Structure 1
Amino acid sequence: MKTCAACNVQFNDGVQCGGCKQHLDFGCANISEAGWRRLGANRMAQWKCPTCRMSSPAVPAPEPASLETILSEIRDMKRQLLSLPTLVDDIRVIKDELAELKITCEGTSGRLDEFDTRLAEVELKASELGKLQETVNCLQADLARSKYELATYEQRSRLNNVEIKGVPVRKDENLFSIIEAIGQKVNYTCPKSQVNYISRVPIFNSNEKLIIVSFLNRYVKEDFIAAARAVKDLSTSHIGFQGSSQRIYVNDHLSIEYKKLLSKVKIMAKEKYYEFVWVKHGKIHILKNTNSKVVIIRKESDLNKIV
């Protein structure tokens, strides 16, 4: 509890004079509680009671300025005004530059709007190109699948065929007699009843012609190739040809696509030090060594298996 210095009444909340440091209630201090709260800490510390305000010394009135002082101030003002025309010119130049800048900004704004429009068009075209690329990718995948299926079908149609290379063409030749002679040399009898057809087929960019034999039974064809491959030195001299002897090769009849694939497999197998490459049942087989597993190559993407 505090005692008011003016009315000697005790109170809980009031003010304190910053001059005499005495406490007053809000009524004797001539200030409301809300007004006191709004003063803030600094102004509360400087607040003075009515008694202290009345006892404060009066501020002496200023003496009238002399004529010399007034003239001196006028001269200072004139000196300051000397630079006014230059300042006005500078302001005018700045104003002109601001006007030019405004025109430039307006033109730039127009170009930016144009760029935004063109950018939106480019983004739209890019979106359309993205969709078109997806379509192209799907078509390419379909084409690759169709090419693989076609190549597989062409090779499947040759599963009963044997390709014989190295037998020279003779006038009035009997191809059945040549097959019989080869059968005698490799110890495999092949009756005509097992042959569907036999014919000569030209080799691309060569005067040589292959002999293609189509068997009715695939197992007969496989046995015939196995017997021929067992004879490592099979040549034209073994089947009645006179003159210089040349090697005869008996293999599966591969399509053009499979022959290209076989060439790529042989090149990669050599680079990766694979020991064996062969064709069986119309499929390309490779083996790195006797301790590794056989890898079958059916399409070009399978070349990734050669590691």
Structure 2
Amino acid sequence: MKTCAMCDIKFNDGVQCSNCKKHLDFVCASITEGGWRKLGTDRRAQWKCPTCRISSPSPPNTEPATMEAILAEIKDMKRQLLELPKLANDIRDIKDELSQVKSTCESTEQKLEEYGSRLTVVEDKVNKLEKLQEVITCLQTDLEKVKFDFASQEHRSRLNNVEIKGIPTKKGENLFSIMETIGRKISFNCPKSQINYISRVPMYNSNDKFIVVSFLNRYVKEDFIAAARANKELSTADIGFQGATQRIYVNDHLSIEHKKLLTKVKAIAKERNYQYVWVKHGKIHVLKNQSTKLIIIRKEADLNKIV
């Protein structure tokens, strides 16, 4: 381990001046480690530090000049002068190329500034669009909630209702009398006092109308549906209608959204070999078989439960 004579820092590898014998690191010696290695043994032995080179300049060459040496130097100078025109041309070419590069750079800089301005405008528009998208997303969420609340309210308003399909419309018909006849057929006592209202309602994409019966008591409604479903062969002939016999269907009076949901449930259940799909208390029930767990579908997201 040596100490540099200039910076007083210790080092492992450096140089030694042949004149003052001082040790220096490569930085203070103004030479790289690679340059020092390339000097060779003889030249390293004669190497002088920067301070010694200044204080003891190399002695001038006192060897007398000969004619041959002078002529050789003149010849070498003439040879170098012959290269001047080519060098001048090269310099002119370089200047032209630099001028073109400068012009191109200026044009590119102008275009970059233009593109930068356009990019700023686009970024502003994107930011506005992102904010607008956030507003739209919030509005969509609110709309979905409103639609869900409205559908839920409509569904609740129909929980006491029964929908009867398959009974042809007759001029001057008495719907209360039809209900009494159905009640006798299915062995269910349904007095007029238990009915809130009864009316014909148009069917979607059909000229027929089904009967909607609104009960005052939900449990009476559920018992009526259960009794009707127990009589699976209930038909128009059973309630005194002449002509071709039609099957009569008694079901919950579902909202349009719940009817669509029921259609989807039936399709998926059939595809996945579920044996039972029915509606009770306004809720869609699904059962694969007697040994599986009952599934209740209240909204479309619940369809994922049918696996």
- TM-score normalised to the size of structure 2? 0.78
Residue in 2 that maps onto 1:247: 247
**In 1, Cα distance between the equivalents of 2:15 and 2:69?**
42
Give a deviation string over 1:176-232, Cα, whole Å, max 9, x none: 121111111111111111111111111111121101111111111111100000011
1:131 aligns with 2:106: no
Superposed, 1:46-57 pairs within 5 Å as none
Residue in 2 that maps onto 1:26: none
**In 2, Cα distance between the equivalents of 1:254 and 1:102?**
79
Superposed, 1:7-22 pairs within 5 Å as none
Deviation at 1:42, TM superposition (A): 3.9
Q: Percent identity?
A: 62
* 8 Å contact from structure 1 (residues 163, 252) kept in 2: yes
Residue in 2 that maps onto 1:194: 194
Give the count of matched residue pairs.
262
Deviation at 1:59, TM superposition (A): 10
Query: Unaligned 5+ residue runs, structure 2?
Result: 23-44, 47-58
Deviation at 1:65, TM superposition (A): 1.3
Name the CA shift for 1:211/1:61 in 2 (closer, same or farther; >3 Å).
Answer: same
Superposed, 1:78-117 pairs within 5 Å as 78-117=78-117
Residue in 2 that maps onto 1:19: none
1:180 partner amino acid:
E
User: C-alpha root-mean-square deviation of aligned residues, in Å?
Assistant: 2.5
Residue in 1 that maps onto 2:16: 41
* 8 Å contact from structure 1 (residues 148, 299) kept in 2: no
Residue in 2 that maps onto 1:262: 262
* 8 Å contact from structure 1 (residues 275, 289) kept in 2: yes
**In 2, Cα distance between the equivalents of 1:175 and 1:227?**
19
Residue in 1 that maps onto 2:278: 278
Query: Unaligned 5+ residue runs, structure 1?
Result: 1-33, 48-57
Name the CA shift for 1:62/1:126 in 2 (closer, same or farther; >3 Å).
Answer: same
**In 2, Cα distance between the equivalents of 1:241 and 1:138?**
55
Deviation at 1:133, TM superposition (A): 1.9
2:277 partner amino acid:
V
**In 2, Cα distance between the equivalents of 1:134 and 1:292?**
43
**In 1, Cα distance between the equivalents of 2:142 and 2:270?**
32
Bigger drift between 233-242 and 122-131 goes to 122-131
1:63 aligns with 2:64: yes
Residue in 1 that maps onto 2:49: none
Q: Which SS does the other structure have where 1:172 is aligned?
A: coil
Deviation at 1:40, TM superposition (A): 5.6
**In 1, Cα distance between the equivalents of 2:95 and 2:61?**
49
Structure 1 segments, 4+ long, off by >3 Å, are 37-40, 58-61
Name the CA shift for 1:174/1:78 in 2 (closer, same or farther; >3 Å).
Answer: same
Structure label with greater radius of gyration: 1
